[in-house]
């Protein structure tokens, strides 16, 4: 293999730049040429491709977002779109592709591999919803952003003795909400993986209030529904003054944490190793602090699950 490509796709995540840097530097270390594909699969279809050098990825390890930009591309879901992408790769004599993104991006990589074009996936999404890896790039940074925001909300919640519903991202996964809830001592954590027990939420609030608690924090994953409607239900059921904050896209930005930078560096480098070993259709990940790789099709066919012990613990600690 002489030339490889790298792209970022789907929702961006802090640490994607560190992963791009690792891919580029590791590839050049092994005397490969590396090409950056701009704007994800959309840029691939359009041939928006440029050669990356050692210096192209200087001063990006600490930056959020992705220097290659990202996009969600409907056309690439079609056979025609994938074919156009392969033609562009062949035109530039790129023999293997590293895709940094979430499960939607991996479906594209899976299709290209099925069509005979070798791809390796690197999990980059704040949602932490990919099987076969304990953590995805960006999750730790997003989590820390959420914690910082909740700590601030807590101050005003105490001053005004209010109940706060904080809606966090995660798409259909509850990891961000669960980890944030545990890290911030939330009264209740509502995630799509667990049935919403409204009575339990209400009785926790009432218990706390009777005990003289000055405020309450409830974390709701976006996959459960709207924070605003939930807040209204809570206010009606308890008569406690309730406010809602939807944290939104702030969760996707910012300088990556040390943990995300290290993870991204290790995963990006491993992806290059796999291409050099002649592997295709694999996803790299971290499990028990070991860098592993799995078949992308297997990963995509399994349902993401949350850590049940952590969920149980969050209930036990917020009695």
Q: Looking at the annotation, which residues are catalytic?
A: 127
End-to-end CA distance of the chain: 58
Q: Which is nearer to ligand F6P, 97 or 126 (CB)?
A: 126
Q: Residue 13 has which token pair?
A: 């995540």
Number of Cα atoms under 13 Å in the Cβ half of residue 235: 13
Instruction: Candidates 120-128, 203-211, 238-246, 297-305: pick the segment binding ligand F6P (CB under 6 A).
Output: 120-128
Residue among 199, 164, 200 at smallest CA distance from 184: 164
Binding pattern for the stretch 177-216 against ligand F6P, x by CB under 6 A and - elsewhere: ----------------------------------------
Distance CA 15, CA 65 (A): 8
Q: Which is nearer to ligand F6P, 169 or 264 (CB)?
A: 169
- Per CB under 6 A, which of residues 122..161 are in contact with ligand F6P? 125-127
- Per CB under 6 A, which of residues 12..71 are in contact with ligand F6P? none
The SS3 call for residue 30 is coil
> How many positions of this chain bind ligand F6P (CB under 6 A)?
11
Distance CA 147, CA 145 (A): 5
Interface with ligand F6P includes 11 (CB under 6 A)? yes
Interface with ligand F6P includes 247 (CB under 6 A)? no
Interface with ligand F6P includes 170 (CB under 6 A)? yes
Q: Which is nearer to ligand F6P, 33 or 167 (CB)?
A: 167
Q: Which is nearer to ligand F6P, 24 or 130 (CB)?
A: 130
What is the radius of gyration, based on Cα positions, of the chain? Answer: 21
Interface with ligand F6P includes 260 (CB under 6 A)? no
Rounded to 10 deg, the angle between the 79-91 and 103-114 helix axes is 70
Q: Which is nearer to ligand F6P, 52 or 73 (CB)?
A: 73
Which helix (H) or strand (E) is 31 found in, with range? none
Distance CA 45, CA 17 (A): 22
Q: How far is the CB of 308 from ligand F6P (least distance, A)?
A: 22
Give the number of residues written for the chain: 319
- Contact residues toward ligand F6P (CB under 6 A) are 11, 72, 102, 125-127, 169-171, 222, 252
């Amino acid at each position: 293999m002489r030339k490889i490509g790298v792209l970022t796709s789907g929702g961006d995540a802090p640490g994607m730049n560190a992963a791009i840097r690792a891919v580029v530097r590791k590839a050049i270390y092994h005397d490969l040429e590396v090409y950056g594909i701009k704007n994800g699969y959309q840029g691939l279809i359009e041939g928006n491709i440029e050669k990356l050098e050692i210096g192209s990825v200087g001063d990006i390890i600490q930056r959020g977002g992705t220097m290659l930009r990202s996009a969600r591309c409907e056309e690439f879901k079609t056979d025609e779109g994938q074919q156009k992408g392969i033609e562009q790769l062949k035109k530039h004599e790129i023999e293997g592709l590293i895709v940094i993104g979430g499960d939607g991006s991996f479906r594209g990589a899976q299709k290209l591999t099925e069509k005979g074009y070798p791809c390796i996936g690197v999990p980059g999404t704040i949602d932490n919803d990919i099987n076969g890896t304990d953590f995805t790039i960006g999750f730790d940074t997003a989590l820390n952003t959420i914690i910082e925001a909740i700590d601030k909300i807590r101050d005003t919640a105490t001053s005004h003795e209010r109940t706060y519903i904080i809606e966090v991202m995660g798409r259909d996964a509850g990891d961000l909400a669960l980890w944030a809830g545990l890290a911030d001592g939330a009264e209740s954590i509502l995630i799509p993986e667990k049935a919403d027990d409204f009575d339990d939420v209400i009785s926790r609030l009432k218990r706390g209030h009777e005990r003289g608690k000055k405020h309450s924090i409830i974390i709701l994953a976006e996959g459960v529904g709207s924070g605003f409607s939930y807040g209204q239900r809570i206010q009606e059921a308890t008569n406690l003054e309730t406010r809602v904050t939807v944290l939104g896209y702030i969760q996707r930005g910012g300088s990556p944490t040390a943990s995300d930078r290290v993870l991204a560096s290790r995963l990006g480098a491993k992806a290059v190793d796999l291409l050099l070993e002649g592997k295709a259709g694999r996803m790299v990940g971290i499990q028990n602090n070991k860098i592993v790789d799995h078949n992308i099709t297997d990963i995509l066919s399994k349902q993401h699950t949350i850590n049940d012990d952590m969920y149980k613990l969050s209930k036990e600690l917020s009695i």
